[in-house]
Structure 1
């Protein structure tokens, strides 16, 4: 497969290209453009989970990207076809970084997208920055991507947790109560969700009853749920996702947690609900 050598593209040029056409639009489907001949394909490296906690999320974002690529198959973007080069990040930051380097070094990809896990997105964004490429995060929500790890080469499609909790938390205080307990996925996104929920709870004079941090790939939540029951919160505020969330929801039902308190997920996706079933 023949590719052109690396060419420089400024942020201004990229943004002008963005205004020129709405290609690969939507959640997880950014469009990419670089200077080249009309026949030269636009290669987009997709670092996305096909395994691990967010495999279902990864499948859906890849389907969306493929639909967008197929839509522009004939006319392309400014006459250039779009080709996706896909790698499985396994919902693991180190694997994601390694796959991103492979896409850049071996496949000569300059533009990366994907990374459902915020921790994976941080590592892929760092690789893109180091190699002078661009990374467009398709489906992650930690505000660390725009704050602590904010980079000129990283763009973020979905809202971050600061935006989500500034909308949700005041309503929760007013309608449910001011005593909260937190279940937090123990990585970038989970920390972000609980941080912002706590921030707003404090502003409203609420009571923080404690937190349990949930490691990725947890399947037995009994110890955590016993702590929730003991705390007797008005609201159980959860920032947990993927297969872990599906398992947690099933066990909360078994423990009768839904009858004892109001359960609130700071962010939930259709893929999570599919895993639980009716």
Structure 2
């Protein structure tokens, strides 16, 4: 009888073990179906962030490796882990080509298990990657592209736009400069969609403040000789010459404007998209008198200075708004994972929209329903060499444009998420 009992006990133990194995297998299958729901609350035990931008072309100084350094600082400041899982950073050069950007992003998502992509210089690349992140249900936070379409008609539940956009730049430069006496404008515009949009939006704000557009001229992308275009602008008699271009086009136009003595002749040169990096490359003798807008300047306050000095120790230069914005975006993404208790994209996206943004880049920032992070924008004038007291002491503040005025509302943006 004792032998029979022993056999029955063994059978029961074997049955229980089999049930336990079946439960584990079922749990594993369920976890594979729902990658955000595994134990530990981090999908594969690691949070991976990719910086995807131009690292070798016309926008290499715009963000480039400087944005990678800023993202790394954000991870270090957060402690290198979130919810107990390590945070890894990878980066790649998309060469300003939308197809290359989308191909890298797809490989990152499918093979490398990247959770979020940031920076995304170049509007075409950013729009392509944002469409992919919508399909893959991953997060993208754009700091390096300008188009307001990212949070407009092409907005995404998983897409966010951080540092600036064409609307904010146009309003900061066009609207605020008219209020300071720059009423008559002539536009020197890059002849493609980005330049046309920037000119159109700036002209709207110029006119809304009582200013006038007296003329415009279009130049090809990557132009080397701006002399004929600048001569037309100079002869127009406009108070302000607006540069609706970016990258090397802007730098070349500013250099040649200095040779023409445009600022010295009494006209104001206003760039609608230029950063501290380009000003540094140009030097104050060529860039002084230039009016521009950024969403960040390292010498604005104590928080900005502290970050700027740390960044300079790593890179040898001060950050511009794209690089500081990338720091902010990565830091806020990690904060959102911590607040959500998971790296599940839907939960993290909800926290990104709910949490205030307060860091070295932003003061009292907030994210709207369409993914647009609103923060103050600033109108600056580049100093004369005699006014600069130290390296990278390049700007004097002309005006502050509150974030609620600088950026479109969700309703104005045309984003379907408004509904």
TM-score (norm 2): 0.54
Question: Distance in 2 between the 1:251 and 1:5 partners?
Answer: 59
5+ long unaligned stretches in structure 1 = 11-33
Describe the superposition over 1:106-153 as per-residue Cα deviations: whole angstroms up to 9, x where unpaired. 323232112122222112112212322221112333212111322222
Counterpart among 140, 154, 178 of residue 145 in structure 2:
140
Structure label with greater radius of gyration: 2
Counterpart among 164, 169, 193 of residue 169 in structure 2:
164
Structure 1 residue 85 displacement after superposition: 2.0
Question: Within 5 Å, which residues of 2 pair with 1:125-274?
Answer: 125-187=130-192, 189-260=194-265, 261-274=267-280
Counterpart secondary structure, 1:257: coil
Question: Distance in 2 between the 1:179 and 1:224 partners?
Answer: 17
Question: Distance in 1 between the 2:218 and 2:34 partners?
Answer: 45
Counterpart secondary structure, 1:61: helix
Question: Distance in 1 between the 2:86 and 2:33 partners?
Answer: 18
CA contact 1:119–1:188 (8 Å) conserved in 2: no
Counterpart secondary structure, 1:90: coil
CA contact 1:48–1:62 (8 Å) conserved in 2: no
Question: Distance in 2 between the 1:130 and 1:223 partners?
Answer: 46
CA contact 1:184–1:194 (8 Å) conserved in 2: yes
Describe the superposition over 1:218-275 as per-residue Cα deviations: whole angstroms up to 9, x where unpaired. 2222232122123221111123222322222111111222234111122321111122
Question: Distance in 2 between the 1:263 and 1:101 partners?
Answer: 41
CA contact 2:250–2:271 (8 Å) conserved in 1: no
Which structure has more relative contact order (CA 8 Å, sep 6+)? It is 2
Structure 1 residue 79 displacement after superposition: 1.0
Question: Distance in 1 between the 2:135 and 2:227 partners?
Answer: 43
Describe the superposition over 1:162-207 as per-residue Cα deviations: whole angstroms up to 9, x where unpaired. 2333343333223333221112334554334322211122223432
Question: Distance in 2 between the 1:125 and 1:239 partners?
Answer: 25
Structure 1 residue 35 and structure 2 residue 32: aligned? Answer: no
CA contact 1:44–1:112 (8 Å) conserved in 2: yes
Describe the superposition over 1:17-50 as per-residue Cα deviations: whole angstroms up to 9, x where unpaired. xxxxxxxxxxxxxxxxx9326x811011221111
CA contact 2:54–2:60 (8 Å) conserved in 1: yes
Aligned residue-pair number? 250
Structure 1 residue 90 displacement after superposition: 1.2
Q: Higher helix proportion, which one?
A: 2
TM-score (norm 1): 0.79
5+ long unaligned stretches in structure 2 = 1-30, 285-419
Question: Distance in 2 between the 1:9 and 1:195 partners?
Answer: 43
Structure 1 residue 6 displacement after superposition: 7.2
Structure 1 residue 114 and structure 2 residue 124: aligned? Answer: no
Describe the superposition over 1:74-124 as per-residue Cα deviations: whole angstroms up to 9, x where unpaired. 5x0111111112110112223222221221233232321121222221121
Counterpart secondary structure, 1:219: coil
Counterpart secondary structure, 1:81: strand
Which aligned runs of 4 or more in structure 1 are off by greater than 6 angstroms? none
Counterpart secondary structure, 1:128: helix
CA contact 2:224–2:249 (8 Å) conserved in 1: yes
CA contact 2:47–2:115 (8 Å) conserved in 1: no
Choose 210-219 or 43-52, whichever is displaced more.
Answer: 210-219
